[in-house]
Structure 1
Amino acid sequence: MTAPHPVPDTSPDVEGEIAHEQAHVDRVYAELEKATRRAADVEADGLARGRTSRTGDVRDEEMTGLFERDALVYAAARRRAMIDKQYEGLVFGRLDLGTEQSTAAEREVRYIGRLGVRDDEYEPLVVDWRAPAASAFYRATPVDPMGVVRRRVLRSRGATVIGAEDDLMVPEAPDDLVVLGDGALIAALTRSRGRQMRDIVATIQRHQDEAIRAPSRGITEISGGPGTGKTVVALHRAAYLLYSERRRYENGGILVVGPSAAYTAYIERVLPSLGEESVSLRALGDLVDGMTAVRVDSPEVAAVKGSLRIRRLLSRLASRPPAGAAREFRSFVGGHAVRLDEHVLRRLRSDVLRGHQHNLGTDAARTALAEAAWRSVRQGERDAFLDAFDGSREVDEFMASWWRQLDPRELLLSLADTDHVYGLSRGVLDQEEAAALAYSYREALELGTWSASDAALVDELVSRLGAMQEVEREEVGFYDIEELDDLASYGVVDVRAGVDRRVAPEESYHVVTPADARERLMQGRIDRASGYAHVLVDEAQDLSPMQWRMLARRGRTASWTVVGDAAQASWADLAEAGRAREEAFAGQERRAFHMDTNYRNAREIFDHARDVILPLVPDADIPDAVRETGVDPVVRAVDGSLAEAAAQAVEQLLEEVEGSIAVIPARRWEDRLAALDGAGDGRVRVIDPLSTKGLEWDATVVVDPDAITEESPGGVRVLYVVLTRAAHRMHVLRPA
């Protein structure tokens, strides 16, 4: 980044400049109040249009009135909501355009903000930051000033201007131009971090703006080391796409995917603050509708669940008869005894599944069964036999067992049986891996929670099984309520689903578990993935191949923005993930943007992180940290209690920084440090290493870094992430 020209050491009338800006901001808010009243009037008018006092047959007029009412009310309500959300810091920038020689009367003044605002004569008071007329605010540099003499960033609290920072884009300021502060970007960087990410729309730099405004089609890749602003750039790109091609992206939707629930909570304010709500913000474990998964598997289990080889196991799981399915068909149909053995039933199942997904193939399976039954008899009238077969209660009962609707979560939970996993995984997993996989599902049944890795497996099974179809209650009407209750208590009938799940104990795959834990795991309805017009993936280096497949189903016709840094990867096999990633992109055109300036970390902190990662990952993408505090990280071996040392470090940092503090311990220390969470009037948070992805704090306390490396799936790469979360201060504590 080319630095602006040095700001002259003048003593301007700062109060006068602030008062001048406040006068303009007051005018903007006055117009905003008018706009709010106009929106309210339109909303009232819309409601009035839905009423009619005419008598007789006025159905068409009423329907037209209702349509007009709904359209007006919706548009007006949306405008009012947008105005309300942009109230805080609505006007954040100003451009003075001209030349070094131009006078104040000759220079054009252009204010930049979160919304476009015009006066009664339709003259612009504020230009929307996404509009082409605002691009110079981000892209102007002293090398290419784009007609900008001075760029000013306004800082506000509510509707009150409390400060301003200027960047001068010409070698010498005109005599009548006042220049304030030391530069907008550095001023923004020195402020404290809050619990949620602030949008830095006012301090975006030129190379970042180029990525934000890149063409919408194809794949836009944004790479760079820690603290380079990749996430903020990507989120502002989403807002820009919605602004520049609203119909396409508002109708099709934008999916923003982050690594964890902690991450999504951190950034959820950014897009709404920019005026965009047509965005679905999901953690990887929440991508499957109807399922929430937050738990993290052990590195060994995550490696099994994330690898593409698990697909073979899932294919076998989806193609086998469900637990408790009848092994032969016996019935008396149309006066004829019918018997189909297990071999015939297996062949029928295989034939049907070649052309149908299981949950969508019930009718095809019933037809195939009827034809096989007729072939076994071949007596009497064929049509009469098939009619009798179709109306048979015994056939209904058999189908409810043999071809019942399958919930993909039920199939995954069947993997809690180690012997069952051994049988399914021959040639796919070794015995140690199979046993670990089975243990992970026994743990799920014990805790009543899914792991984030499970979401991709459920999604894969949905793609194989098809979405579950509604089953009419009448299909099991031959049971009375008492019989259903008896069977439910036996653990073999799901009364809520209305289907027969009769399972003899010796035939059952699944482990009997407390009802409440299983209930939590099976809550919600799982459906097929919805497609989006644009998919934005942050921390892409962490995605497993199976997670890339899950994303691909949501982005088959989408454009993509992909953000990542290989040096921070927690997924070990980057080559396999890369192949799955390329398949998801489906050969679309690509453009790449590289961020090489670390705005987050003080140089002293980042130098420590760099020295940790480079010996083990020599090709790590190391950005240039541009800010110094003069304070080195505190790195010490603790001869005594690490928990007490961490508490002392937190106490010291609460005095040294005004903002947020994170305590990031190895897993073995989490319980002993939990009491620190919420300390300092909520400024302190205790968080596990993997959940720190994409987050930042004013200060951090890293506890037992060697153990973090040992227990993390990405090893030292995860430690590198942890060591680059602090903006101003960092303590690193290790046992002596």
Structure 2
Amino acid sequence: MSTPAADPVDPVDPLSHERAHLASSRAALRSMREDVEALDIRDVAANRVSAEALAHQIELRVKALADLSDTPLFFGRLDYLHAPGAERAEGAEGERFYIGRRHVHDADGDPMVIDWRAPVSQSFYRASKKDPMDVGLRRRFGYTGGDLTAYEDERLSDPAEAARTSRLLQREIERPRVGPMRDIVATIQPEQDEIVRSGLTGTVCVQGGPGTGKTAVGLHRVAYLLYAHRERLARTGTLVIGPNRSFLHYIEQVLPALGELAVRQATVDDLVARVEVRGTDDAAAAMVKGDARMARVLRRALYAQVSMPTEPVMVVRGSRRWRVPAYELEAIVGELLDRGIRYGAAREALPQRIAHAVLVQMERSGEAPDDRVQDAVARNSAVKAAVKAVWPAVDPAKLVLRLLTDAEFLAEHAEGVLDADEQKTVLWAKTVRSVKSAKWSAADAVLIDEATDLVERTHSLGHVVLDEAQDLSPMQYRAVGRRCTTGSATVLGDLAQGTTPWATRSWAEALEHLGKPEAVVEELTAGFRVPTDVIAYASRLLPHIAPGLRAVASVRENPGVFEVRPVDGVEGVIDAVREALREEGSIGLIAADGRVPALVEGLAAAGLSPLAPGEETTRETRLTVVPASLAKGLEYDFVVLDEPAAVVDGEPDERTGLRRLYVALTRAVSGLVVTHGVALPTQLL
């Protein structure tokens, strides 16, 4: 049972009472962990494999029950007016629930902390004065490290108490950070919670500007789905896809902090890593290779390997000969082609179909063959030879290599799909003769993945989160979509932050390529992380990079620091960095990729040792130098942005450059200083 809301022994000093409950809850969590550690499984498992699997599950459970000393075990309390499910009669006794990151129970099994994902916890995020959801009191807790230091009450059922913004909530949102991304479980807003708790069967696309929490929403949705559908997702699997390794390192601690340890994280390049990527494409070639039309070219090239039989098959068994005529073989092949099944599956079915035709003849002659006879016929050398001639095995990488090196082969299968200039753009030199010697690009690897799926179906997961999706090509969307054909997805992105030449133009188009055209598109427009002056300055670029897209409205009370500062050379940039280091939290120096080496050299000469993106900040080492190309998805308390014009000029065209600049401008959580020695882009003036 939970604690009664109308607790008669609630002391005069509520903070002491809450600290006591925190201490008791931590002790109960330790007991839960010790109980799991003490489990004896020596005589439980039937074999070694089962024993290892069970031991692994126990190990994960022990890790999930870890008490993180600097993380609040619970962050809120709900006092309900009535017991759940009871009639709301006057005088009915409600219950009290402490809301936290994981469930904790005492020795009798009674809950001391309720998991934030449980249905009863939903009111903590959605209850309001307008709709109190039977909550009499909502209490939020403030912490310093892992110590409970403050509380704040909202009496939702009291009409005399005016609605107000929670200062503890605002302070937690604006709190400086050092290290990787934190969870937002204590600060989830109603519109975010609605997305987090959306069902497993539906795909959701979240359009969100900088600081709206879309990444956190996606990660918390995974955690919620694992709670609500654990058995199903344990079988089918979950995956988080990010744009690069630096981003994945930044977010990798969020799910473990919520007790979820089994979610795989990867980039799109990781998913399609069937060949070693050693080459690069220019923008024009990458655009063509990333176009969805390439899927049609690949399908044509693959199924062109199938040829209609012109000779009969003669199967010899003992003293009897069985002849399958060419016209019957042609009908079998035609039927398999018409069914549209995978190339490899059809090739495996073909010998069985031929064998079945032989068995029909046997039965007509009075024999009674069984399945073993059919299998034996399917393995007959004559049948194998016919299959090899009609439906040959295909290596996907070799097929792509031939398309990229054989102009006639490409022209034959790209006719009416790619024009002559596009074909010429993707062709390699004919000197490349083997898969191993080829210098494959990232776009080539996606083509090979597409061809592989045409041959053999890609394994589908139960749920996939795709972050920074706006930068994917149509073919990359297809690669991700293959990983969730029988599952669902959470797609996260911002059309204004697309920085590739093939960046997404509309979510409807992207979702079509993903194979999820029925997905619901939600928009987050409330900015919780970026200060008002910073987002207002960056939003000057929106009419030029994403006409019609609504600007983010910052809801932060703290206006933050914002300054545009003319400087003279690297020394002026370093002075701005030194000033930022006087503030609390992480510091990011963002610059055009080409200017990073000179800035790193200047910092070293000034006695400052910066980190590279992906390296974890600490209280002692808080400065990271970030190339603009890697800034997407990252956040820093204070940002010094070096030379905006160089960021724009570092991209192949102005529109992409302005989008890259928009990303760089919106990485700051508490303050931004823009330094420049040359004129600013006119779009910022």
Q: Same fold (TM over 0.5)?
A: yes
User: Which amino acid counterpart does residue 633 of structure 1 have in structure 2?
Assistant: E
Question: Partner of 1:47 in structure 2?
Answer: 42
CA deviation after TM superposition for structure 1 residue 75, in Å:
5.1
Q: 1:94 aligns with which of 63, 68, 76?
A: 76
- Asked if the contact 1:85–1:275 (Cα under 8 Å) also holds between the matched residues in 2, the reply is no
> How far apart, CA to CA, are the structure 2 residues paired with 1:425 and 1:735?
49
> How far apart, CA to CA, are the structure 2 residues paired with 1:442 and 1:190?
58
Question: How many residues in Structure 1 have an aligned counterpart in Structure 2?
Answer: 592
Question: Partner of 1:251 in structure 2?
Answer: 235
- Asked if the contact 2:173–2:187 (Cα under 8 Å) also holds between the matched residues in 1, the reply is no
Structure 1, unpaired ranges of 5+ = 1-12, 51-62, 100-105, 323-333, 335-347, 370-386, 467-527
RMSD, matched Cα: 4.7
Question: Partner of 1:378 in structure 2?
Answer: none
- Asked if the contact 1:228–1:600 (Cα under 8 Å) also holds between the matched residues in 2, the reply is yes
Aligned to 1:605, what secondary structure does the other structure show? Answer: helix
- Asked if the contact 1:221–1:562 (Cα under 8 Å) also holds between the matched residues in 2, the reply is yes
Question: Partner of 1:663 in structure 2?
Answer: 590
- Asked if the contact 2:590–2:664 (Cα under 8 Å) also holds between the matched residues in 1, the reply is no
Question: Partner of 2:508 in structure 1?
Answer: 578
Question: Partner of 2:581 in structure 1?
Answer: 654
Aligned to 1:633, what secondary structure does the other structure show? Answer: strand
Alignment of 1:606-645 (within 5 A): 606-627=535-556, 628-629=558-559, 631-636=561-566, 640=569, 645=572
Q: TM-score, normalised by structure 2?
A: 0.72
- Asked if the contact 2:202–2:489 (Cα under 8 Å) also holds between the matched residues in 1, the reply is yes
CA deviation after TM superposition for structure 1 residue 200, in Å:
0.8
> How far apart, CA to CA, are the structure 1 residues paired with 2:440 and 2:598?
25
Matched, 1:194 2:178: yes
Q: 2:110 aligns with which of 114, 118, 123?
A: 123
Question: Partner of 2:147 in structure 1?
Answer: 161
Matched, 1:538 2:467: yes
Question: Partner of 1:730 in structure 2?
Answer: 672
CA deviation after TM superposition for structure 1 residue 367, in Å:
11
> How far apart, CA to CA, are the structure 2 residues paired with 1:114 and 1:294?
43
> How far apart, CA to CA, are the structure 1 residues paired with 2:351 and 2:414?
30
User: Could you report, residue by residue, the CA deviation over 1:640-682 in whole angstroms, capped at 9, with x for unpaired residues?
Assistant: 5xx55544443332234431314241x4435544556528965
CA deviation after TM superposition for structure 1 residue 448, in Å:
8.5
User: Could you report, residue by residue, the CA deviation over 1:106-133 in whole angstroms, capped at 9, with x for unpaired residues?
Assistant: 9854322122111123322111111122
Matched, 1:409 2:338: no
CA deviation after TM superposition for structure 1 residue 610, in Å:
0.5
CA deviation after TM superposition for structure 1 residue 349, in Å:
11
Question: Partner of 2:647 in structure 1?
Answer: 705
> How far apart, CA to CA, are the structure 1 residues paired with 2:334 and 2:668?
57
Aligned to 2:582, what secondary structure does the other structure show? Answer: helix
Matched, 1:437 2:407: no
- Asked if the contact 1:165–1:187 (Cα under 8 Å) also holds between the matched residues in 2, the reply is no
CA deviation after TM superposition for structure 1 residue 199, in Å:
0.3
Matched, 1:78 2:60: yes
Q: 1:678 aligns with which of 598, 611, 627?
A: 611
User: Which amino acid counterpart does residue 95 of structure 1 have in structure 2?
Assistant: R
CA deviation after TM superposition for structure 1 residue 722, in Å:
2.3
User: Which amino acid counterpart does residue 447 of structure 2 have in structure 1?
Assistant: L
Question: Partner of 2:226 in structure 1?
Answer: 242
Alignment of 1:390-405 (within 5 A): none
CA deviation after TM superposition for structure 1 residue 535, in Å:
2.6
User: Which amino acid counterpart does residue 726 of structure 1 have in structure 2?
Assistant: A
CA deviation after TM superposition for structure 1 residue 234, in Å:
1.7
User: Could you report, residue by residue, the CA deviation over 1:541-590 in whole angstroms, capped at 9, with x for unpaired residues?
Assistant: 333221222222222222332223322234657468734623644564x5
Shift in alpha-carbon separation, 1:442–1:365, aligned structure 2, 3 A: farther
Aligned to 1:277, what secondary structure does the other structure show? Answer: coil
CA deviation after TM superposition for structure 1 residue 77, in Å:
3.3
User: Which amino acid counterpart does residue 459 of structure 1 have in structure 2?
Assistant: D
User: Which amino acid counterpart does residue 205 of structure 1 have in structure 2?
Assistant: Q
CA deviation after TM superposition for structure 1 residue 198, in Å:
0.5
Shift in alpha-carbon separation, 1:457–1:129, aligned structure 2, 3 A: same
CA deviation after TM superposition for structure 1 residue 434, in Å:
4.1
Aligned to 1:614, what secondary structure does the other structure show? Answer: helix
> How far apart, CA to CA, are the structure 2 residues paired with 1:68 and 1:399?
41
> How far apart, CA to CA, are the structure 1 residues paired with 2:17 and 2:276?
51
User: Which amino acid counterpart does residue 164 of structure 1 have in structure 2?
Assistant: A
Shift in alpha-carbon separation, 1:93–1:702, aligned structure 2, 3 A: same
Question: Partner of 2:490 in structure 1?
Answer: 561
- Asked if the contact 2:564–2:674 (Cα under 8 Å) also holds between the matched residues in 1, the reply is yes
- Asked if the contact 1:556–1:584 (Cα under 8 Å) also holds between the matched residues in 2, the reply is no
Aligned to 2:522, what secondary structure does the other structure show? Answer: strand
Question: Partner of 1:600 in structure 2?
Answer: 529
Shift in alpha-carbon separation, 1:261–1:433, aligned structure 2, 3 A: farther
Structure 2, unpaired ranges of 5+ = 1-10, 82-92, 307-315, 317-331, 355-376, 604-609, 679-685
Question: Partner of 1:224 in structure 2?
Answer: 208
Shift in alpha-carbon separation, 1:151–1:711, aligned structure 2, 3 A: farther
- Asked if the contact 2:26–2:67 (Cα under 8 Å) also holds between the matched residues in 1, the reply is no
Shift in alpha-carbon separation, 1:416–1:216, aligned structure 2, 3 A: closer
Tell me which moved more, 710-719 or 240-249.
710-719
Matched, 1:136 2:126: no
- Asked if the contact 2:470–2:503 (Cα under 8 Å) also holds between the matched residues in 1, the reply is no
Matched, 1:462 2:389: no
CA deviation after TM superposition for structure 1 residue 47, in Å:
1.3
User: Could you report, residue by residue, the CA deviation over 1:477-497 in whole angstroms, capped at 9, with x for unpaired residues?
Assistant: xxxxxxxxxxxxxxxxxxxxx
Shift in alpha-carbon separation, 1:360–1:68, aligned structure 2, 3 A: closer
> How far apart, CA to CA, are the structure 1 residues paired with 2:37 and 2:219?
31
Taking only the aligned residue pairs, the percentage that are identical comes to 31
Question: Partner of 2:329 in structure 1?
Answer: none
- Asked if the contact 2:591–2:642 (Cα under 8 Å) also holds between the matched residues in 1, the reply is yes
> How far apart, CA to CA, are the structure 1 residues paired with 2:50 and 2:297?
54
Question: Partner of 2:4 in structure 1?
Answer: none
CA deviation after TM superposition for structure 1 residue 312, in Å:
3.9
- Asked if the contact 2:481–2:515 (Cα under 8 Å) also holds between the matched residues in 1, the reply is yes
User: Could you report, residue by residue, the CA deviation over 1:407-456 in whole angstroms, capped at 9, with x for unpaired residues?
Assistant: 43344445664857874656544565445434699999999875443443
Q: TM-score, normalised by structure 1?
A: 0.68
Shift in alpha-carbon separation, 1:417–1:232, aligned structure 2, 3 A: same
Matched, 1:718 2:675: no
> How far apart, CA to CA, are the structure 2 residues paired with 1:617 and 1:447?
42
- Asked if the contact 1:140–1:148 (Cα under 8 Å) also holds between the matched residues in 2, the reply is no
